[in-house]
Each structure stands twice: as structure tokens, then as C-alpha cells.
Amino acid sequence: MKKMSFSLIFTALLCVGGYSSAQSMGSIVGTWKTFDDETNQPAAMVQISENNGIYSGVITKLLDASGPTTCEKCTDFRKGKPILGMEILSGLKRTGDGFSGGQILDPDDGEIYRAEMKLKDQGVKLDLRAYIGIPLLGRTQTWIREK
């Protein structure tokens, strides 16, 4: 009896550990709340989707009424286009326990940065590292998953 209950507890712990590991290796697909770097106030909602292993993100809602509504500082095809509905994140691929190889547009300054992402807190938070050149020369934002 003792041996059986130990086996059940051990099996249960393995399952919980496996679930936790699966969550940390989970998907970034979903809706995320972004925050302004300067004010730390909610800025926008971004919907991340996946197509053939490539992740992209579109702004689905603007939360900061004082921010721009069009991308006037963009230098590519998005110049002058509405930010709402704009794809700002593209080309990310799963790499180990994170996502990299993509790029992100900051509609506030029109700059396009390289991007890396990593899930935190069992998939509730997403750390986005945006940089030019090497990751060391960049900044990290934390996005919060919307339920």
C-alpha cells in the first residue's frame, strides 16, 4: 500500500512538472496588452497569430487616446496608415525556449527593430526584447496576456 501511494504521488508530481514545463514552452498566440515605455500605462492590444511556424502580431485596439492613430513616422508602406489593424510584429520563429528572428515596428517613432520574445510566469507574461544590431543594445517590454 505504501509503495502504491508513493508511486501515485511520484506520478502526480511528474505530471505537474510536465504541465509546468509545457506552459513555459507554450504558445505566444493570443491577445496581449502592451504598455508605453515612458508612462507604463496600457498602450494597445496586440493579437499574435501563427502561420506555418511564423508568428506575427496585429494591433487590434488602441488603449492610449493621446497617442497617434496613424503611423506618420513610418518610412515603409505603412506611412500614413492607421495604426489600428496594422501588423507591427512579423517573422518570429520558435527557437529553443523563446521566439526570435523577427522584427517589430514602433508606431510612435516609425523605427523597425529586431525582436525576441520569451514567455514568463507560466505564459501570463511575455518579455519582448527589441533591439538594433545586438540584443544587448535594446530594451525589454513586458506584455500581459489577456484572458
Instruction: Say how far apart CA 90 and CA 88 lie, in whole Å.
Output: 7
Domains and CATH numbers, the chain: 27-145 (2.40.128.520)
Closest CA to 22 of 97, 117, 92: 97
User: Which H or E run includes 13?
Assistant: helix 2-24
Identify the residue whose cell numbers are 504598455: 35
Q: What is the pLDDT of residue 23?
A: 40
Per-residue model confidence as pLDDT tens digits over 72-94: 999 999 999 999 999 999 999 99
Bridge partner list, 94: 99
Report the predicted TM-score, pTM, of the whole model to 2 decimal places.
Answer: 0.80
Per-residue model confidence as pLDDT tens digits over 26-64: 899 999 999 988 889 999 999 999 999 999 999 999 998
Does residue 15 register a pLDDT over 70? no
- Rounded mean pLDDT, 118-147: 93
Q: What is the pLDDT of residue 21?
A: 36
Q: What is the pLDDT of residue 25?
A: 54
Q: What is the pLDDT of residue 8?
A: 31
Q: What is the pLDDT of residue 52?
A: 97
**Mean pLDDT, the chain, as a whole number?**
85
Q: What is the pLDDT of residue 24?
A: 41
Q: What is the pLDDT of residue 136?
A: 82
